[in-house]
Amino acid sequence: FALTTGLVNGQSDNSMFFVFLNPNPAKPLTSVQQENHSQTGHTQYINKLTSEKIVKADGKFKDGGGMMIIQAENIEKAKKIVRADPVVASGIYITETLPLTVANNWVCGAKKPYEMVTYELVRLIFNDDYFGDLDRMSRENRIFMSNLNNSNDFVMMQGNFSNYNEGVLILNVPTKEEAEKIIKKNPAVKEGQIKYEIRRLKIAKGTFCRP
C-alpha cells in the first residue's frame, strides 16, 4: 500500500471515492507464489495510480484487507480502476466503492520516507430496520460530528457516503474500546438509525492533514 501527496478539500466532491478491500472468503485456490505475484502487482498498480494522482490514500486493516481513497470522474470509472487491481482481478479481495464527501479535515497525502501509524476506523452503516425521522437524525449526526471535530484533536478525518449518515470516522485513539465509547455518544447511534463497525487501520503518517 503506497501513499500520495494529493490534497482533498473539506467540501463536497463527488469525484472522490472510498474503497474497502475485504478478504474474499470464497477466493479461488491459488499457490503462495501466485498470491505473492498478485500482491506484488497490487503494490505496483497502487504506485502507478499514486503517481497519476488517482490514489489519494491507502492503508491496511489489522484484520485483513485495506482501504483506498481514489479520484475518478464517476463511480463507474472508479469501479473500473478498482477492478483492474491484480488482487481484485484475481479474486483475493472483494470490494466496495462508495462516493465520498469529506466533511471534517483534509486528506493531504504522506511523503517519503513513510512512517506508519495506527488509527481506529469507524464505519457508520445505515440500519434498514430504522423507520424514524431520517432528516432529524441527519442533522443531529452532522452537529455531533462537527462538535467532535472542533473540540478534539483526535479526529483525523470524517466523511460521508450518503445523506443519511453512512460514512467513516477515523480516530487517533489507542484502542477500539475508546473509539466505541466515542461513537456511542452519537445521537444517530443511540437511536438506532446507524450501526457501526470498528477496524484498526495502519496507514502512513501525514495522510491526513491533522498532525
At 13 the pLDDT is 45
- pLDDT, position 112: 81
The string of pLDDT tens digits covering residues 49-58 is 988 989 999 9
82-138 confidence digits (pLDDT tens): 999 999 999 999 999 999 999 988 888 888 888 999 999 999 999 999 999 999 999
The mean-pLDDT minimum among 26-30, 80-84, 142-146, 151-155 falls in: 26-30
Q: Where are the domains of the chain?
A: 16-103, 108-204
Q: Is residue 132 helix, strand or coil?
A: coil
Q: Which helix (H) or strand (E) holds 203?
A: strand 194-204
pLDDT in tens, 57-88: 999 999 999 999 999 999 999 999 999 999 99
Give the confidence band of 11 by pLDDT, cuts at 50, 70, 90: very low
Three-state SS letters, 70-116: EECCCHHHHHHHHHCCHHHHCCCEEEEEEECEEEECCECCCCCCCCE
Q: Which numeric CATH code is attached to 108-204? A: 3.30.70.1060
Distance CA 113, CA 120 (A): 23
CA distance 150 to 143: 11
Specify the higher pLDDT residue, 210 or 9. Answer: 210
- Mean of all residue pLDDT scores within the chain: 90
Name the pTM for this structure: 0.89
Enter the C-alpha cell of residue 174: 489507542
The domain at 16-103 falls in which architecture? 2-Layer Sandwich (3.30)
Which of 1-15, 16-30, 70-84 is predicted least confidently?
Answer: 1-15
